[in-house]
Amino acid sequence: MCSLKQDVCLYDLDANRTPSTFLPVELQDQSTNGVLRACPGPIPPALGVVPSEFKPLGYGDSTKGTPGVLRSVGESASLLYQPPPRDCPAPSEYVSMIRELPSQRHIDILVHDFFRNVAWHYDIVDEAAFMNQLAQWRRLTHDQFKRGPDALPTTLRSFPALLFQVLAQALLFQPAQHIETLNDLKYAVDMELSDRAAEYSDAGRRLASSFRKSEPTLTGVQAELMRACFEKTTGAVIEAWHTLGTAIRDAQELGLHLTEPDSTTYSRSAKSSDREMGRNVWLILHLWDAHMGIVLGRPMSTRMSPNDVASPMSSRDSSGNQRPPQPRDVILCGYHTAYKFLQEIHDLEKVEDWRISIDKIHETILTNIANLPAWATVQRSRHGEPPWLSAALETMYTNVQFVVFALHRPFIFAEPSSRHKAFNAAMQILESQGRLLDQTEPLQYKAFSLVFATFDAMVLVAAVHIRFSDELREQFTATRRNLELGIERLKSLQARKNVLANSALSIVERLYQKMLATVYPEETLDNGQGGTDDGSFTIMETETV
């Protein structure tokens, strides 16, 4: 509670979170007599004006998290919006949707690109298992297809849904100078590869929902999670949250949340068991659930015991030979360092003596960071490491600092210690995000991971200087530099059609302007203060909105 009447009360620790629910399963994916029809939409959001730049970001209208920080400095935070209705497929459309797949040559190119450029970000799809399914799929006969999905093996019915999502992600992250033959996928002169990616992802969603109710499969859950990735990357964050909820319920129907790990240490065998893959997928679902719950201020629907999560593999095999880490190892390393506390952080509002809890979690994370395995440290040997590892570890470092940031953020207006620790974590995030972008190829600029952490951190550091202008004055030079660099990063991402960056940019530019006016009240923007090359926040904001 705020004790001073002139203060804006942001984090009422006893307040209930704004109710939000997943779209009920029974309202999704309904079809009648083989005719496509629109699914009933989710429960409408609370009434209020919704600034257009907020819509793709998907934040809940909560007093906690970034919306609350924005509200503290006079920004509107009515962030909920009504997502558009989605068409639901009828099972009879299965074969016609299969015909939308591209040629085998194009599939081979895009699958290769996916596992080279994209897969390590999420580690949702195991390459060996996927390639085995693809080989089985290609052995199906024309007669089997003519007889419909009931004539296909159960394990393969939902495979094309996953294949469509893999193709969509590969197309979304193509470089400007891509392989010429991919232009054959366009059927109109003004088409972009991202347009085709959206069509493939939509086809995958329709296929996945065709079989979800009657026969949920691990492949179907993977397809839904990949669809959530696509939606989040393309700015449909509320849609991604609902899709994630559907994937979680289907995973629970399969019992993935009940599966114990095969061993206490993750092993990278030539052929992962379905059990192991299911457990891996459930971990990713849980991490997405926790992260989106904290970032967007929405309820969580999963729980996971750290005792049920394997440790990263050793950097050496049984013979003592060096072996490179895999994407899964980076995720597991981040989990045991910090991510495992996300579910506790999400529920801290229910803890009476929260100061003890946050101090304990904070110290544990610092200890874990100090004890990272050698392959995950800055001082590691770079000899022979895979090309994706450096960016993956930098992403992990950002996410670990985000956990520290999220731990203290709800209490920044009530507790000076939390305010300073959250501020320091935010500065670490911004510096990490700068290093990450420096080693990120332009084809990766659409990734949502390059926006949310930067945006949340920029909002907090600016808000702290605005609300507590007498504190952290010695940090202001570094703050200003980090905000200016962050704005430039968002502009670079915006230029590559990153929808989320487009939405975040005008908000942080306004906050930057407001921060300068607070710290330097005697100066105005007319004398050149601003720190960006285009010289006009007003023009940029108008263009962005």
Give yes or no for a contact between 236 and 500, defined as CB atoms under 8 angstroms apart.
no
pLDDT in single tens digits along all 545 residues of the chain: 444 444 434 333 343 333 333 333 333 333 333 333 333 333 344 434 445 555 556 666 565 677 777 777 777 655 433 444 434 444 467 788 899 999 999 999 999 999 998 999 989 999 999 999 999 999 998 888 877 787 888 889 899 999 999 999 999 989 878 899 999 999 999 999 999 999 999 999 988 887 656 678 899 999 999 999 999 988 888 999 999 999 999 999 888 988 665 544 444 443 457 888 999 999 999 999 999 999 888 899 999 999 999 888 765 555 666 678 899 999 999 999 999 999 999 988 788 888 889 999 999 999 999 999 989 998 888 777 888 999 999 999 999 999 999 999 999 998 999 999 999 999 999 999 999 999 888 877 777 778 889 999 999 999 999 999 999 999 999 999 999 999 999 999 888 888 888 889 989 999 999 999 998 876 544 544 444 444 333 333 333 22
Structure-block tokens of residue 407: 């731990």
Q: What local confidence, expressed as pLDDT, does residue 92 receive?
A: 60
Question: Rounded to 5 degrees, what are φ and ψ at 280?
Answer: -65, -45
Q: Which of these, 510, 529, 515, lies nearest to 476 by C-alpha position?
A: 515
What residues contact residue 401 under an 8 Å CB cut-off, 6+ apart? 425, 428, 429, 432
Q: pLDDT digits over 423-447, tens only?
A: 999 999 999 999 999 988 887 777 7
Number of Cβ within 10 Å of residue 193's Cβ equals: 18
Query: What's the pTM value of the predicted model, to 2 decimals?
Result: 0.78
Length of the chain: 545
Q: Report the distance separating Cα 534 and Cα 532, nearest Å.
A: 6
pLDDT at res. 275: 84
Please report the pLDDT score of residue 81 as a whole number: 38
What pLDDT, on a 0 to 100 scale, did the predictor assign at position 48?
Answer: 42
Task: Give the start-to-end residue ranges of the domains of the chain.
Answer: 89-309
Residue 426 buriedness (CB in 10 A; 0-12 / 13-18 / 19+): buried
Q: Compute the distance between CA of residue 23 and CA of residue 248 in angstroms, rounded to an integer.
A: 12
pLDDT tens sequence across 160-169: 999 999 999 9
321 vs 334: CA distance, rounded Å: 24
Q: Looking at residue 118, what DSSP letter applies?
A: I
Burial tier of 26 (Cβ tally within 10 Å: 0-12, 13-18, 19+): exposed
Q: Using the 8-state DSSP alphabet, how is residue 258 labeled?
A: G
Tell me the C-alpha to C-alpha distance, in Å, between residue 383 and each of 319, 322, 324, 342: 19, 11, 10, 33
The enclosing H or E element of 127 equals: helix 127-138
User: Distance between CA atoms of 459 and 437, rounded to whole angstroms?
Assistant: 19
